[in-house]
Amino acid sequence: MGKTTERKLKDLRQQYINLGIATTIDFIKFTTMSIVHHSTKIEGCTLDELDTQILLEDGLTAKGKPLLDHLMMEDNYKAFKHARYWAGYKGKVTKDFIQELGAMVMYRTGGIVKTPMGAYDTSIGDLRRSAVRTDSRYFPDWTKVPKLLASMCAFVNSQLDEVQGMETLRLATELHYMFVDIHPFGDGNGRVGRILMNYVQMYHGEPSVKIFAEDRKEYIAALQESDTESCEPLYAFIVEQQIKFLSAEIEKFEAQ
């Protein structure tokens, strides 16, 4: 990623801050709804953005669409709001906090998973007790998960109060990658990972990160191309997503 792209994001970030967009009435609420909508849609949810808004504001379901999708959306929204609340208190990233988020994300769509190593319950934030793989890789053995989470939390917390400005986005990206790379839950890892990424941003009062559902393929490719030594492909992708998000918000604000 070139310096020109980072400069563009830096300028857009400053313009966004100077315009006071985040202080607009209900901006946080509607932005959160949109971020959660796209995050849940990445996982296959069929609700469109209007369906999501009506569901989260009025509690009304979309005709002909699966109940499971509505539950996924509502639970993800509650988890995101919980993270915002915790960020307001400058809470650190801990294993307990992560499991709280996992439980909230999977509250009504998770359940007991039986494995040869014992059962675990995704709806209460239990760490997995089984192997997990995707088309491209296997994730760490489940016995290593607690230690890996502890190392991740120690790293992030050591940096959390040190970063500022554009540095927060890189730390947010690193946390997101590290979490997804560990894959501590049987389900819900992507949603929790994107909340944790935004947690760093919310902790510092920085613009939230919105990963657009239509860019899912590029997002997955960026995750696959990154590794624990360098999150550069994912960071470059996140920067482009922020440029897309902030540009759209500034354009809407200035068109008033």
Tell me the CATH number at 190: 1.10.3290.10
Average pLDDT for 140-164: 97
For the chain, how are helix, strand and coil distributed in percent, rounded to 5? 65, 5, 30
Looking at the predicted structure, is the pLDDT value of residue 184 above 70?
yes
Average pLDDT for 60-84: 98
Looking at the predicted structure, is the pLDDT value of residue 3 above 80?
no
Beta bridge partners of 112: 121
User: What does the alpha-carbon distance between residue 56 and residue 58 come to, in Å, rounded to a whole number?
Assistant: 6
Q: The whole model's pTM is what?
A: 0.96
Looking at the 3D structure of the chain, how many domains does it have?
1
User: What does the alpha-carbon distance between residue 219 and residue 241 come to, in Å, rounded to a whole number?
Assistant: 10
User: What does the alpha-carbon distance between residue 171 and residue 120 come to, in Å, rounded to a whole number?
Assistant: 31
pLDDT given at position 256: 79
Tell me the pLDDT tens digit for each residue of 212-242.
Answer: 999 999 999 999 999 766 799 999 999 999 9
pLDDT given at position 86: 96
A 10 A CB-CB count for 227 gives: 12
pLDDT given at position 251: 95
Q: Which of 52-61, 94-103, 127-136 has the lowest mean pLDDT?
A: 127-136
List the domain range (segments joined by +) for residue 196.
3-254
